[in-house]
Amino acid sequence: MPTVLIVDDSSYQRRILRTSLEEAGYKVAEATNGREGVDMTLSLKPDAAIFDLLMPEMDGMAALKEIREKKIQLPIIVVSADIQETTKKLCMNMGAVGFVNKPVKGESLISVLNILKNYIGQ
C-alpha cells in the first residue's frame, strides 16, 4: 500500500485529504509544517507528498526547495489558496508534479487522486 505524506497546518484540510486518500487505498502520514514535512520525508520515505504553501516554521515553498536540493525523488503535489499563476509556475519549476487550489474538495480531490495514480498507482 503506497504511503502519502500530507503536510498542512490546517487539521481540517488534512482530515479531508486523509479520508479521501484512505478510501482510495493509500496509507497516510501527516505533518503540520514544512520542517516536520521535510524530516518525515527523510525518515518515512513516502511514495508521494501533498504540501500546503503557507505554514508556520517552514513554508511549503522552502520545504519543496530543501527536498529538491537533497536530491530526493518524491512526487509532490502543492495545495494552496494562492491562485496566482506565477505561484503555480514557480512550484512546478521547482519540481512539483501538480498544483491544486484550496479548499481541496470535490473536483480538486479527484485531481489530487488522479495525479497520485499517475505517479504511484493504486
How does pLDDT run across 1-40, given as a tens digit for each residue? 899 999 999 999 999 999 999 998 999 999 999 999 999 9
Q: Which grid cell sits at 20?
A: 479521501
Cα angle at 53 between 102 and 46, to 5 degrees? 95
Residue 118, pLDDT score: 85
Share of the chain above pLDDT 90, in %: 70
| Contact criterion met (CB below 8 Å) for 56 and 33 | yes
Residue 121, pLDDT score: 73
| 80 phi/psi in degrees, rounded to 5 | -155, 150
Rounded to an integer, what distance in angstroms lies between the CA atom of residue 23 and that of residue 81?
24
Helix (H, G, I), strand (E, B) or coil at 15: helix
Tell me the whole-structure pTM to 2 decimals. 0.92
How far apart, in Å, are the Cα atoms of 10 and each of 1, 51, 55, 95, 102? 25, 11, 9, 23, 11
| Contact criterion met (CB below 8 Å) for 3 and 44 | yes
The more confidently predicted of residues 122 and 92 is: 92
CATH 3.40.50.2300 assigned to 3-120: yes
Q: What's the mean pLDDT when you consider all of the chain?
A: 91
Question: So where are the chain's domains?
Answer: 3-120
| Confidence bin at 122 (pLDDT 50/70/90) | low
Helix (H, G, I), strand (E, B) or coil at 81: coil
